[in-house]
């Protein structure tokens, strides 16, 4: 248990990257590892005082804000090793809520103590800054995808993003289970659930992927990449003219 971070399979994606074994000891001392949380539980809520950041060891989490009409606005999906809650530091309260999409094991890292430790361990400071930078980059990519791309491309970008992230975590890049419902995908992409359903149908009809419920099988990865933005206009669409 004391060597938790060192033996964690997410070592290379998470805070310990680049930190020496002896320094990881310092990090491990401040990390709280909780028991598994069932689906639908909150890690934190919008407006809660910001004291810690969180990382899932296993299981996916969604983050979202709630409009005054009560509707969820999904900001992102977080796989194991991806930091959660960093947006709370600015205001001192969490800017979004985070809820588990499935059974999730989380690590909680008290932020003040992390800051202290980072001062003593340059490599940890650097990795923390790098991970924050990654969060910025990630949101910029989302911004480009959501703000300016066609619905089909947005969906392709999301599927590809999941594919890449699953493969970084040692899972198949072409066969995986979606951790979220269609309606969550739609909400995240700024589309109607019906549109997502129809887009997925089209992707199946064109042999790009096969879907059974939440099980995705990417049959034509190059084509999915193309749809996600490799070239300006979709190439194979004779039937539409």
Partner DNA sequence: CGACCACTTGATCCCTATCAAAAGATGTGG
Partner DNA sequence: CCACATCTTTTGATAGGGATCAAGTGGTCG
Q: Residue 235 Cβ, how far from DNA at the closest point, in Å?
A: 16
- Residue 129 is a binding residue for a second copy (CB under 8 A): yes
Q: Residue 43 Cβ, how far from a second copy at the closest point, in Å?
A: 16
Residues forming a β-bridge with 98: 44, 63
- Residue 20 is a binding residue for a second copy (CB under 8 A): no
- Residue 191 is a binding residue for DNA (CB under 7 A): yes
Q: Is 67 exposed, middle or buried (0-12, 13-18, 19+ CB in 10 A)?
A: exposed
Residue 178 DSSP class = -
Among the residue ranges 68-76, 118-126, 175-183, 227-235, the one whose residues contact DNA (CB under 7 A): 175-183
37 vs 75 by CB, closer to a second copy: 75
Rounded to the nearest 5°, which phi and psi values hold at 187?
A: -60, -50
Helix axes 111-120, 21-30, angle to 10 degrees: 160
| C-alpha closest to that of 98 among 49, 41, 140 | 41
- Residue 210 is a binding residue for DNA (CB under 7 A): no
C-alpha distances (whole Å) from 175 to each of 103, 156, 226 are 20, 15, 19
* 97, 117, 142, 163: residue in contact with a second copy (rule CB under 8 A): 142
51 vs 195 by CB, closer to DNA: 195
User: How many CB atoms within 10 Å of residue 193?
Assistant: 14
Q: Alpha carbon 25 to chain centroid distance? A: 27
Q: Alpha carbon 149 to chain centroid distance? A: 20
Sign of the torsion angle spanned by Cα atoms 90, 94, 98, 104:
positive
Q: Residue 179 Cβ, how far from DNA at the closest point, in Å?
A: 11
Among the residue ranges 8-16, 19-27, 30-38, 141-149, the one whose residues contact a second copy (CB under 8 A): 141-149
* 12, 144, 192, 210: residue in contact with a second copy (rule CB under 8 A): 144
Site mask, DNA, residues 108-127, x = CB under 7 A?
Answer: --------------------
Name residues contacting a second copy, limited to 80-99 (CB under 8 A).
86-91, 95-96
Confirm if 118 and 124 have CB atoms less than 8 A apart: yes
Q: Residue 39 Cβ, how far from a second copy at the closest point, in Å?
A: 24
| C-alpha closest to that of 102 among 43, 165, 60 | 60
Residue 88 DSSP class = G
- Residue 206 is a binding residue for DNA (CB under 7 A): no
Give the footprint of a second copy on this chain (CB under 8 A).
Answer: 65, 67-69, 73, 75, 86-91, 95-96, 115, 118-119, 122, 125-126, 128-130, 132-137, 139-140, 142-144, 146-148, 187-190, 229-232
């Amino acid at each position: 248990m004391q060597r938790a971070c060192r033996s964690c399979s997410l070592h290379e994606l998470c805070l310990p990257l680049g930190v020496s074994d002896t320094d990881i000891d310092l990090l491990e001392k401040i990390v709280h590892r909780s028991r598994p949380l069932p689906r639908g539980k909150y890690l934190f809520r919008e407006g809660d005082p910001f004291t810690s950041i969180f990382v899932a060891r296993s299981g996916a989490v969604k983050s979202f804000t709630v409009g005054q009409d009560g509707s969820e606005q999904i900001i992102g999906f977080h796989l194991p090793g991806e930091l959660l809650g960093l947006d709370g530091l600015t205001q001192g309260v969490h800017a979004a809520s985070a809820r588990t999409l499935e059974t999730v094991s989380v690590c909680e890292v008290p932020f003040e103590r992390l800051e202290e430790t980072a001062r003593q361990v340059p490599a940890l400071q650097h990795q923390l800054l790098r991970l924050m930078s990654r969060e910025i980059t990630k949101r910029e990519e989302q911004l480009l995808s959501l703000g300016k791309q066609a619905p089909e491309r947005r969906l392709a970008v999301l599927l590809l993003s999941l594919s890449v992230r699953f493969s970084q975590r040692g899972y198949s890049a072409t066969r995986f289970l979606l951790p979220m419902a269609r309606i969550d995908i739609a909400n995240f992409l700024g589309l109607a659930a019906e549109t997502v359903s129809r887009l997925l149908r089209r992707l199946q009809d064109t042999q790009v992927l096969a879907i059974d419920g939440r099980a995705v099988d990417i049959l034509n990865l190059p084509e999915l990449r193309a749809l996600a933005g490799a070239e300006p206009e979709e190439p194979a669409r004779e039937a539409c003219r």
